[in-house]
Structure 1
Amino acid sequence: MGGELLPPGEAGPDDVVLAWDGADVVAVRLPQLADSLDRILAAMEREKGKSLAELDRKAKQEVVRVLEARGAFSVRHGVETVASALGVSRFTVYNYLNREKGTS
């Protein structure tokens, strides 16, 4: 997931402080969702063995399906980020999403 552990005293307002027996023991700083999307895209490229832009249409549709299941499109600029990684337009990503909804 890419979180970072910090001493509780260094926790910021967006960090999660974990306590044990009433004492703060560690703070967890979670990555921004946009950073997580970049990590997911990079992992998918490693899994596929090539850039996502090099995939055929069917494989790109599968990538969009997986990303939708992982909530990638709830991230601000998620569609644009995915479209760029796939080497397609935003319109194409929306078509893939709508096609998936139509077959569900």
Structure 2
Amino acid sequence: MTRPDEHPLVGAVRPLADAMGAEILRPDQARSDDVVLSWEGAEVLAVRLPQLSDSLGHILAAMERSHGMPLASLDRRAKQSVVRTLEARGAFSVRHGVETVANALGVSRFTVYNYLNRESEARSAKPQVKDAQ
């Protein structure tokens, strides 16, 4: 499916699939757990989602590309931002997620947990705004 004349849906989905580490297949290659996408009633492609643990590696690689340097080279504030982003994306629900992120950031697991705790404390310290009725 890499022909230059590929269907527009394939071209639209490809950046998302690449960022997630998913595989784009022909619909006839789909397994029961793949996602088949249709266009105007016709099946166009199937997406094979990666294992969740593989997705974390792709997310970390994408973050390195967006920062333009290895995550371990970032300053503390940027590393904290990376941890916040990863937390929002569910990275720490993956088995060994903290260890994987710590290795990518060049810090200890303890440091990642500190970043997570600081973020949690900052959220709980913000005053809650009630809706006006």
TM-score tier, shorter chain, comes to 0.7 to 0.9
Distance 1:5 1:37 in 2: 19
Q: Could you state the TM-score of these two structures normalised by the residue count of structure 1?
A: 0.81
Structure 1 unaligned runs (5+)? none
CA displacement at 1:5 relative to structure 2: 3.0
Report the more deviating stretch, 9-18 or 84-93.
Answer: 9-18
2:99 corresponds, among 80, 83, 86, to 80
Q: Compare relative contact order (CA 8 Å, sep 6+) and give the higher one, 1 or 2.
A: 1
Scaled by the length of structure 2, the TM-score of the pair is: 0.66
* 1:98 match: 117
Larger Rg, first or second structure (1 or 2): 2
Unaligned stretches of 5+ residues in structure 2: 1-15, 124-133
The 4+ residue runs of structure 1 with deviation greater than 2 A are 1-14, 16-21, 23-28
Letter aligned with residue 51 of structure 1: P
Q: CA RMSD in A?
A: 2.0
Identity %, equivalent residues: 71
Secondary structure of 1:14's match? coil
Q: What CA distance in whole angstroms lies between the structure 1 residues aligned with 2:78 and 2:120? A: 17
